[in-house]
Structure 1
Amino acid sequence: MEYSKSQATFPAPERPRQAPGRTRQARSPELHQERAVQTRTQILDAAAQLFDERGYGGTSVKDVADRVGMTKGAVYFHYPTKEALTIAVVEAHYERWPLLLESVQSKGLGPLDTVMELLDRTAEAFCDDSVVQGGARLQMEQPLPDGVLPVPYVGWISLLEQLLVESEEAGELRPGVTPSAAACALVSAFFGTQHISARLNRRKDLVQRWAETRNLIFTALRA
């Protein structure tokens, strides 16, 4: 069966609502300038690093300011509350995945190999990208009131199910494998591996641990 390029896409997470009692700061024209964008990026990266290292409760705006060598007022100019900074890190975390999927799909792989390559590249991102790391910890903690941050993992399950349905149609799945169940198993295996590696080894062994887990799972999935 001839396979055409996958059209699977990440479902966009529902945009977080503002934390109760908070309002967004109006964007100044200065924020459109290159320097302001660079400053916001520096603050976001520093906050993501700290959230990953210490968690939401162990990170203050002063900690972020100290990490980037700014005053608290400078940080508040760009992110008016700790909650706004938290939301920004999580939103930036989610923005990574559609771009990564697009890059993987450009290789023209079959759907099952697309799943494998996507998860391999995601493991690398968890090792190298501070925003991915910080956003992941915040998603696990869900430190803000219900509905402020997106529900984690459901977008991944939906995407992988789409790709596994395409794999089934292309004759790549082992008979008896259900795409929806396999998608849940893959997401559980990947993020469980990521979490254990993060807690025990600061993700230094994540790529290796994931490769071991992936080889076992895909042996069971592939026709």
Structure 2
Amino acid sequence: MKDPHTLAGHGPMAQRKELKQERAIRSRENILLAAAQAFAQRGYPAVTMLDVAQLSGMTKGAVYFHFTNKEALALAVTTEFYRRLPAISDAVAELGLPPVASVAELLLRTAAALRDEPMMKAGARLQIERGLIDVDLPIPFEDYTALISAWFHTALAAGELEHMTPPATLARVLVSAFFGAQHVSWVLHDRADIIERTVEVLHAVVPCTRDPRHLSPFLLGHLSV
């Protein structure tokens, strides 16, 4: 009689296959993180597949097994960057904050991620260098801007946004100012002052973020800025 675990697909061969798949997933993640660190520190043109292999502690062949070329690595890192932005947005939405406070919280959490996470640092840098990358990268910050615009529309309808600029335009200006500020912060101070610069952008572009009614939890800790 055959082992029921074998019939159910849980025999030794199936277990070995699962372990192999898990190792492949871990290897890919390790390579992707190494690529992000390399791109963030040195920029796309200066990084080679050998650099990524050495940084990940893997062979060059292993890197090529998962990614056919440097362009594929750049695309994977950028895609991961844009996967993480909605994760931040979802976390903010779960707080149930008023819309203007949600906008402030989103930008400040994004700023912290850009300061602390290699994948976010790399994604931001690759967007600047996209003209040097021979592959179609995702459209920059499209959904991110749309969400902020939606929050501004809600705030305007509720009488919580006193601004002459239409919500969609205000969202575009705010996102442009924020990502410009993070770039300057990166060049001058390796993003050490990115939170302070983000607060400055919020207060300048959306002055009502100074109002206690619209303060986000993150912003409450930076009232002295």
TM (normalized to structure 2)? 0.80
Match of 1:95 in 2: 83
2:109 to 121, 124, 129: 121
* CA shift digits 1:63-101 (9 cap, x unpaired): 001111111001111112111111100100000011111
1:144 to 127, 133, 136: 133
> Does residue 210 of structure 1 match 2:210?
no
Range that drifts further, 212-221 or 136-145: 212-221
Instruction: Kindly name which structure, 1 or 2, has the bigger radius of gyration based on alpha carbons.
Output: 2
Distance 1:49 1:105 in 2: 29
1:194 to 178, 182, 185: 182
Point out where structure 2 has 5 or more consecutive residues left out of the alignment. Answer: 1-16, 215-225
The percentage of aligned residue pairs carrying the same residue is 43
- The CA deviation at 1:106 is 0.7
- The CA deviation at 1:44 is 0.6
Match of 1:45 in 2: 33
Range that drifts further, 86-95 or 181-190: 181-190
* CA shift digits 1:109-149 (9 cap, x unpaired): 11111111111100011011111111111111112346x11
- Counting helix residues as a fraction of each chain, which structure ranks higher? 2
1:180 to 168, 173, 185: 168
- The CA deviation at 1:35 is 2.1
User: Number of matched residues?
Assistant: 194
Root-mean-square deviation (CA, aligned residues, Å) is: 2.0
Runs of 4+ in structure 1 over 6 Å off: 29-32
- The CA deviation at 1:38 is 1.6
Distance 2:54 2:155 in 1: 49
Cα 1:139/1:32, change in 2 over 3 Å? farther
Match of 2:99 in 1: 111
- The CA deviation at 1:199 is 0.9
Contact 1:140 1:152 in 2 (8 A): no
Distance 2:20 2:101 in 1: 40
TM (normalized to structure 1)? 0.80
Distance 2:126 2:18 in 1: 29
1:219 to 188, 201, 207: 207
Q: RCO greater where, 1 or 2, for CA within 8 Å and sep 6 or more?
A: 1
Match of 2:68 in 1: 80
Match of 1:161 in 2: 149
> Could you say what secondary structure the match of 1:177 adopts?
coil
Point out where structure 1 has 5 or more consecutive residues left out of the alignment. Answer: 1-28
Match of 1:170 in 2: 158
Match of 1:13 in 2: none
